[in-house]
Amino acid sequence: MASRLIGNLKGVGQYDHDGLLTQKFYKKLKGRSPIVGVYYSIKPVAIFIDINLIKDFASFHDRGIYYNERDDPLSTHLISLPGDKWKQLPSTCSPTFTSLKMKTMFSTMMEVEMKRKLTKFARVEKSLTLKKVMSLFTMDVIGMGGCAFGFETNSLEDENNEFFRMGISVFDNPGYSTRSTFVLQAFRGYARKLRLKLFRDEVIKFYTDFVRNTIDYRLKNKEERNDFMQILIQLHTSKREDKLSFNEVVGQTFVFHIAGFEASASILQFCFYELACNPDIQNRLRHHINQVLRKYDGEVTYEAIMDMKYLDQIVNETLRKNPPFGMLSRETTLNYKIPGTDCILEKGTSLHIPIYAIHHDPEFYPNPSKFNPDNFSEEAVKNRHPIAFLPFGAGPRACIGVRFGVMHVKLGVIAGLRKFKYTLSPKTRQPIKLQSKFFVAQPEGGIWLNIESVD
């Protein structure tokens, strides 16, 4: 009876990361079937095996993720909202991430100083756990005025500040296990009737109070800022019928804060891990960064970073080999006939797109377990299937903050690599095993690196 209730979720939350779960089905069925049907608890789910099906995002742009606006405003965000509720947000929020806006944000992002923290590790402790340092860095960038919320967390100097503590707790102390979250998604209607919340009351209260206080302060003092929070306030105070509710503002604030610092920190730690494992690539990238900066009088400018083509390849290969999310969730919004078959996925069918499996498919990436930046040379990209790289999704529900996130990561790599060299510490477990309890990829035991200063 217990196995029937679990369905194909056996191992998830115990020893299998969700990306590895879907990879098992992908490897077993590729070439034999365009999709595979599995059960998450007693809920049927279709996993796409044929990469050509994934292009048709218009037929299944909803994510089918559980949210409960009444009791848990943090769940009411851009990633989870369906249909018309979702359509309003990308067009109104996307101006935050234009090239012009990114240039404006850039000078603010540069104010976050990571060098002093790394110098301390290099001189005193000689080793560091990457995730913590990168989380402190990304938290400070997210909070800076002109970027997202207009407050300074100063996490690199004060690790006990409330924003860092609360943000980390979302992942270290989640409301539900990974397996329970899958079950919650499968029975969304019942979960809402039972008024179940995805997040703990402490976390909900923290973000709700922050948003309420920020809105009240800016309206009372007639203060307007050119940041993400200001766009949300305008959508909330608008006289339009489809204006954002207060809870929806809380939801967008939460997801931008959490996704912005956690996903970026995860990418950075894997990037430095790969560089430590591949010293030749690390030295080449450091040389490339310094060579490009000489063209810009040693200044780290927006234009200089755009000129760092090898850095692009390094970041993309990190995202290929270690994607932050192992799979994408979708739900059909129309009946969908699978091309070349008589099979119809009825409206409301849950879908999973196996990102991790596709990124580790030797058809698209020869020797996929090897870290190889040449996978993203111009020629390699041109000759590869366009859907074979999906770290942030694709189609209308791709992440709208990709530019910000990638810039965030590049700044972290430059700041961490220009004056420091990294080698693998014996504290790092080899081979890396992904923790099963997190949706955002995290290695068991963390990543520890030895650090030393370079001239």
Cβ-proximal residues to 411 (8 Å cutoff; 6+ apart), any chain: 109, 110, 112, 141, 300, 305
pLDDT tens for each residue of 344-371: 888 888 888 899 999 999 999 999 999 9
CB-CB contact of 147 with 109 (8 Å): yes
pLDDT digits (tens, 9 = 90+) for 285-312: 999 999 999 999 988 888 999 999 999 9
Same domain, 260 and 343: no
pLDDT, tens digit, 9 for 90 and up, residues 1-43: 334 444 444 544 444 677 888 898 899 889 888 888 887 667 7
Residue 1's pLDDT is 36
Q: Do the strands 336-337 and 344-345 form a parallel or antiparallel pair, or are they unpaired?
A: antiparallel
Q: What average pLDDT does the segment 124-134 reach?
A: 76
What the block records as the tokens of 261 is: 């610092």
Q: Please, what is the end-to-end C-alpha distance for the chain in angstroms?
A: 64
- Identify the band that residue 165 occupies on the pLDDT scale cut at 50, 70 and 90: confident
**Residue 141 and residue 44 share a domain:** no
Q: What is the CATH number of the domain that holds 50?
A: 3.30.43.20
Check pLDDT > 70 for residue 274: yes
Asked whether residue 165 falls in the same domain as residue 112, the answer is yes
* Residue 192 shares a structural domain with residue 106: yes
Q: What is the pTM of this model?
A: 0.84
- Is 399 annotated as belonging to a binding site? yes
Mean pLDDT for all residues in the chain: 80
Mean pLDDT of 266-281: 95
Count: domains in the chain: 2
pLDDT value, residue 14: 46
Q: Is 298 inside a domain boundary?
A: no
Concatenate the DSSP letters of all residues of 63-106 into one string.
Answer: -----BTTTBGGG-STTT--HHHHHHHHHHHGGGGSHHHHHHHH
CB 432 within 8 A of CB 130: no
**Residues 229 and 263 placed together within one structural domain of the fold:** yes
Both 150 and 221 in a single domain?
yes
Strand order through the sheet with 448-453: 127-129, 448-453, 420-424
**Are the C-beta atoms of residues 264 and 405 closer than 8 Å to each other?**
yes
Residue 268 inside a domain? The answer is yes
For range 112-128, the mean pLDDT: 69
d(CA 243, CA 235): 5
State the pLDDT at residue 231.
Answer: 79
Do 188 and 249 fall within a single domain?
yes
Residue with tokens 């109070």: 209
Least confident of 65-74, 90-99, 381-390: 90-99
pLDDT(411) > 50: yes
Check which CATH number belongs to the domain holding 141 and give it: 1.10.630.10
Residues 182 and 38 occupy one common structural domain: no
The stretch 251-259 carries a mean pLDDT of 81
Rg over alpha carbons for the chain, rounded to the nearest Å, is 22
In-domain check, residue 372: no
Cα–Cα distance for residue pair 167/153, rounded to 1 Å: 12
Distance CA 435, CA 130 (A): 16
- Asked if residue 146 has pLDDT above 60, the reply is no
Can you tell me whether residue 45 is helix, strand or coil? strand
In angstroms, rounded to a whole number, what is the distance separating the alpha carbons of residues 155 and 282?
A: 27
Give residue 204's domain range. Answer: 67-277+393-401+418-453
Query: Which of 10-14, 104-108, 226-230, 377-381 is the least confident region?
Result: 10-14
191 and 211 housed in the same domain = yes
Is residue 1, in this structure, part of any structural domain at all?
Answer: yes
> How is residue 398 written in tokens?
């791709």
Q: Are residues 88 and 53 in the same domain?
A: no
